Structure 1
Amino acid sequence: MSEVKQIVNQLNAEGNLRHLLTLEGMPKEQIIHILDIAQQFVSVTDPAREVKKVPLLRGKSVFNLFFENSTRTRTTFEIAANRLSADVINLDILTSSTAKGESLLDTIDNLVAMQADIFIVRHSVSKAPIEIAQHVPDHVHVVNAGDGSHQHPTQGLLDMYTMRHFKRDFKGLKVAIIGDIVHSRVAKSNIFALRTLGCEDIRVIGPESLLPKDLDMLGVKVFHSMEEGLKGVDVVMTLRIQKERMEAGQVPEGEAFFKQYGLTPARLALAKPDAIVMHPGPMNRGVEIDSAVADGPQSVILNQVTFGIAVRMAVMSIVAGN
């Protein structure tokens, strides 16, 4: 997991965030700053607010470049950019020139020539957003919206915001992440952020084939039993099995996986009574999570989605210098 060697500097000469590409190595103060700015934007996302826009990105062009399917991330980035008063362009990859064989960087060069200011990039190839960030001119900013099995920094940040909102103190927090850890960019971003924010009890639960080999280096506790791993935790996060990133037969599927690693009410009862349940989506009910848990009183899954708008507003406003 610890594969990024400061490939590109996310900070500008003044020490401010220029790009957001990874949470590995990001200073604690920078993460807290983003969460604090997001807290200010939460009021803008309040459904009761009559005017839901602020002018911080007025005149800026935000290009959503999603080379992988997405519902929550793409839509919340679009909402966030609109609420910052930016001009939002959603590139249709299937009908763009990339479908004709144009290279990724040639596509980027053409969009820069169209006066793009911020690129939001999701790509199936790990580190593709980093390659773009190394290529663009200084006035253009890149936000990683998920790259391969590498990182998903805005999801990690909105998850940190959710935990802080409901639990406050990271130092005493006990967090369990369940399922396909090895293919999960979300899990990686969360682990890096939790360690930086002082969480000392991070647990991963899953079959050996879905757990990275280097977790010990990050101080993460490994469990293959739900019953052992869930004891006394404050936060339970379940993950989708990413079949698109693995070979057939690598893990039990469907009911077989649910029987071993599905989050049921009985298993959730092993956590603390006030434990919260999180999921980055999309959920596969009856595979990694029971509907009674997903829709239950301890679930904050929809809160994550709402907080994601504010967090993405914060990230875009910060990288753009506002």
Structure 2
Amino acid sequence: MSRSLLSIDELGADGVHRILELADTMAEVNRRPNPKVPALRGKTVCSVFFEDSTRTRLSFETAAKRLSADTMTFAVSQSSLKKGESLKDTIETIAAMGVDAFVIRHASTGAPWLVDGWTNASVINAGDGWHAHPTQALLDMFTIRTALNRTGGFDGLRVAIVGDIKHSRVARSTTAAFCAMGADVTWVAPRTLLPPVVHQHTTDRLDDIIEDLDVLYLLRMQNERMTEALVPGPREYTARFGLTAARAARLAPHALVMHPGPINRGVEIAVDPAELPGAVITQQVTNGIAVRMAVLFDLLGSESTLSEGTPT
């Protein structure tokens, strides 16, 4: 069975380091006038998204095309799933068309693991429920590595992940990735927005730690996943946990401000990110292509095919 990328924990610290090293090469490819190599020519990558996505879906499609892979997009709303076909039958049908990798997003925790058991193709988890989003964590690490010149590791890096951690697969994956590489991660949230099993470093007082941070990682309120009111209201949330102008002024000069998107402006960020010297939110989007190229190449490629696209 082909290798897959389902979670940061399964990838491990060595795997994280390998992907980040590969991403350096892919970032160089993306800076070329013609950002394309034949590394995955003849391979087919199929996107299967059961939840809405802009950044992740387009990023994976762009990454596959820049590696010269063929791409397929499965439209759930126009599929036989609407006629009662099971997910297993759907995956097996698509796999029979000659797919080498599935990129899957699903609202149910664990769905990518099920898919991995139904096909010999590689499976990449593009987000499952509240559980995991490994490529977002990898692109976040690559962004920090590049912006703060942390090629040697993240030992001593002070990170605060702020907001709706309870419903955030990004928070879980980034925490796992940062900790695997030696960072000191603190979750900052009201108790109502924490999961049942909390991280060992947790606080509800952002103002107590903001001046000591190297990275301020903000999450949006995932209202679509909430079945009850978990905070008094957006104004109260911003007052305690949002990045206001006053809090932005207290950040260290080198501190990075990050967000996985989409941003709820005026809630978790009450200032224009473009005016923050440490904001790397657009760089996260750009780096997502290089990192997802690295993931696809790691699963499907070989050094000989990558070198074919290197100019002499």
* TM-score range normalised by the length of the shorter chain: over 0.9
Name the structure 2 match of 1:189: 173
In structure 2, the residue corresponding to 1:288 is in which secondary structure? Answer: coil
1:265 to partner: Cα distance: 2.4
In structure 1, the residue corresponding to 2:8 is in which secondary structure? Answer: coil
2:78 alignment partner AA:
T
Hey, what's the Cα distance between the residues in 1 that align with 2:275 and 2:123? Answer: 35
Whether the 8 Å contact between 2:5 and 2:11 is mirrored in structure 1 is no
Name the structure 2 match of 1:154: 135
Gaps of at least 5 residues in structure 1 are: 1-11
Instruction: For 1:235-314, list aligned pairs within 5 A.
Output: 235-293=215-273, 295-314=275-294
Seq. identity, %? 46
Hey, what's the Cα distance between the residues in 2 that align with 1:23 and 1:278? Answer: 19
Instruction: For 1:75-90, list aligned pairs within 5 A.
Output: 75-90=58-73
Whether the 8 Å contact between 1:232 and 1:270 is mirrored in structure 2 is no
Most deviating of 268-277 and 280-289: 268-277
Whether the 8 Å contact between 2:257 and 2:281 is mirrored in structure 1 is yes
1:43 to partner: Cα distance: 1.5
Most deviating of 180-189 and 248-257: 248-257
Change (3 A) 1:245 1:252: same
1:31 to partner: Cα distance: 0.6
Gaps of at least 5 residues in structure 2 are: 303-312
Is 1:144–2:125 an aligned residue pair?
yes
1:150 alignment partner AA:
H
Name the structure 2 match of 1:99: 82
1:234 counterpart (195, 202, 214): 214
1:166-220 CA-to-partner distances (Å, cap 9, x unmatched) read 2214102000000001110001001111111011x2111111011123234xx4x
- The TM-score with structure 1 as length reference comes to 0.89
Whether the 8 Å contact between 1:226 and 1:267 is mirrored in structure 2 is no
1:228 to partner: Cα distance: 1.2
Structure 1 runs of 4+ aligned residues shifted over 4 Å read: none
Instruction: For 1:108-123, list aligned pairs within 5 A.
Output: 108-123=91-106
In structure 2, the residue corresponding to 1:291 is in which secondary structure? Answer: coil
Name the structure 2 match of 1:133: 116
2:44 alignment partner AA:
S
Hey, what's the Cα distance between the residues in 1 that align with 2:60 and 2:112? Answer: 16
In structure 1, the residue corresponding to 2:127 is in which secondary structure? Answer: strand
1:38 counterpart (2, 9, 23): 23
1:163 to partner: Cα distance: 1.1
Whether the 8 Å contact between 2:243 and 2:271 is mirrored in structure 1 is no
1:227 alignment partner AA:
D
In structure 1, the residue corresponding to 2:272 is in which secondary structure? Answer: helix
Whether the 8 Å contact between 2:244 and 2:269 is mirrored in structure 1 is yes
Most deviating of 85-94 and 207-216: 207-216
Hey, what's the Cα distance between the residues in 2 that align with 1:162 and 1:252? Answer: 34
- The TM-score with structure 2 as length reference comes to 0.92
Hey, what's the Cα distance between the residues in 2 that align with 1:253 and 1:97? Answer: 41
2:8 alignment partner AA:
L
1:279-307 CA-to-partner distances (Å, cap 9, x unmatched) read 00010000111233454221000000000
Q: CA RMSD in A?
A: 1.5
Hey, what's the Cα distance between the residues in 2 that align with 1:229 and 1:126? Answer: 32
Name the structure 1 match of 2:33: 50
